[in-house]
Structure 1
Amino acid sequence: MTDIPLEHVHREPDTDTGNAVFVLHGRGANEEDLLPVAERLPGERHVISFRAPDRLQGGYTWYDLDLSAGGLEQSQPDPEGFRRSLDLVAESVDAAVEKYGLDADELGLLGFSQGAITSFSLVLEQPDTFAWVAGHHGYLAESHADRAPEGIEGKPVFVGAGAADQIIPATRSEAAAEGLREAGADVTFEAYEGGHGIGQEELADVAEFVEAHD
């Protein structure tokens, strides 16, 4: 049996399908955090929710923050930890495809906050790996801001933001949407009244996005 580098939760569908979504939680959370979001997505699919590799208080984190640009609202991923997590997620996706018999052409990626930042970078590094990507309340890391790889053209990407988000301002998420659009992705951007969390309206919109592109 293939070993998967990252700890994870695997929820199997009721039907025999290779369709799957990989889930990346936010800073300080864990692999259980976004299961209610993933399980609200339409259709039958495997849900594989990864746990970030490093402990942070009562949860886990994908990387440390570089605050040298002026605090949390201008933070960037620490390069070393970010690179490690990107590689761990990519390796874990490949291993999960083999272990669970997934259809490599039917893989989605859903992330929140740090998980969204990681998701945006992953699709720019490996655009052919994912059929669609949904990133909630994240931004486009500077390390990946100028990438426009082959395979990103027309890739469906959903970017959600919170108008009252004081951790990752909506302007940063909107800039991520514009950067991904300029790279060639087919981007859906929506901003919501709430703060740093996925509300019911945002959940309904991402479900509609997935149904349209699944």
Structure 2
Amino acid sequence: MTDIPLEHVHEEPDGDSDAAVFVLHGRGANEQDLLPVAERLPGDRHVISFRAPDRLRGGFTWYDLDLSAGGLESSQPDPEGFRRSLDLVAESVDAAVDAYGLDTDDLGLLGFSQGAITSFSTVLEQPERFAWVAGHHGYLAESHADAAPDGIEGKPIFVGAGAADQIIPASRSEAAAEGLRSAGADVTFETFEGGHGIGQEELAAVSAFVEQQA
């Protein structure tokens, strides 16, 4: 729909549900990438998967990487691009709520890699907007590392990591979980076998987490 800033895929629920999950893909992917994960989550809800705003090879990216601290494993979001994407996500969520008549008390946020990093910062900026957040293989951006906003207390957040992830090491995801917990969120953190991807064990764990929020 043209009044939603970010290009997206919208999948309607099977029944008469106004709940929704917003989906943010990883670097170099697109809005189709995480649909198999979102579709496997328990419950009946709208699935709205956003496309990142900038092209990258055959896919899209939420922001450029700041590699000044070292290699990819030490990267941070480029501040200007990150700010733009955070604003676009917030504007697109608001527009989708209006366009699709969504229940503002039953909105989830699911992200992978760059999408998880964006999700963590998004919930720290708008904790009242989302009922729960699931971030896979991401880290907490330095720009939001010390944030502890009103409304984050008790917010259910799932953080998944890969024991063999060489792109975003499990230690960075664990540090994100600790930071979000220190801010007051109710964090579930788990490390899974494998690398930079969501396997069946991780999918089962996040599904159990989402089911607990019903």
TM-score by length of 2: 0.99
Cα displacement string for residues 84-126 of structure 1 (whole angstroms, at most 9, x for unaligned residues)? 0000000000000000000001000000000000000000000
Taking the aligned partners of 2:104 and 2:93, their CA distance within structure 1 comes to 10
Aligned-pair Cα RMSD in Å: 0.8
Q: 1:203, CA displacement in angstroms?
A: 0.1
Counterpart residue number, 1:35: 35
- What residue in structure 2 maps to residue 144 of structure 1? 144
Partner of 1:130: 130
SS at match of 2:128: coil
Rounded to whole Å, the distance in 2 between the matches of 1:21 and 1:2 is 20
Q: Distance in 2 between matches of 1:183 and 1:43?
A: 28
The residue correspondences of 1:147-166 to structure 2 (distance < 5 A) are 147-166=147-166
Matched-pair contact (CA < 8 Å) for 1:2–1:99: no
Query: Within 2, Cα distance between the matches of 1:97 and 1:153?
Result: 24
Cα distance between partner residues in 2 of 1:14 and 1:155: 27
- The answer as to 2:97 corresponding to 1:97 is yes
Tell me, in whole angstroms, the C-alpha distance in 1 between the residues paired with 2:103 and 2:37. Answer: 22
Describe the SS at the equivalent of 1:164.
coil
Q: Residue 51 and residue 2 in structure 1: after superposition, are their counterparts in 2 closer, same or farther (change >3 A)?
A: closer
1:48-59 pair list within 5 angstroms: 48-59=48-59
Q: Deviation of residue 155 (structure 1)?
A: 0.1
The C-alpha deviation readout for 1:42-67, integer Å capped at 9, x for no partner, is 01000000000000000000000000
Q: TM-score, normalised by structure 1?
A: 0.99
Where structure 2 has 5 or more consecutive residues not aligned to the other structure, the ranges are none
For residues 109-167 of structure 1, give each alpha carbon's deviation from its aligned partner in whole angstroms, at most 9, with x where no partner exists: 00000000000000000000000000000000000000000000000000000000000
Residue 200 (structure 1) aligns with: 200
- Tell me how far apart the structure 2 counterparts of residues 49 and 154 of structure 1 sit (CA, whole Å): 26
Counterpart residue number, 2:191:
191
* Matched positions, count: 214
Distance (Å, rounded) in 1 between the aligned partners of 2:196 and 2:43? 27
User: Letter of the aligned partner of 1:165 in structure 2?
Assistant: D
Q: For residue 14 of structure 1, report the CA deviation from its aligned partner.
A: 1.3
SS at match of 2:109: strand
Aligned residues with identical type, % of pairs: 86
Distance 2:77 2:3 in 1: 27
Contact 1:164 1:193 in 2 (8 A): yes
Alignment match, 1:212:
212
Question: What is the distance in 2 between the residues matched to 1:183 and 1:116?
Answer: 17
Contact 1:7 1:50 in 2 (8 A): yes
Query: Aligned partners of 1:16, 1:183: CA distance in 2, in Å?
Result: 35
The one-letter code matched in structure 1 to 2:119 is: S
**Shift, 1:2, TM fit:** 7.0
Is the 1:158–1:209 contact (alpha carbons within 8 Å) kept by the matching residues of 2? yes
Q: Cα offset for 1:81?
A: 0.1
Say which SS state the counterpart of residue 39 (structure 1) adopts. Answer: helix
What is the SS of the residue equivalent to 1:201? helix
Corresponding residue of 1:182? 182
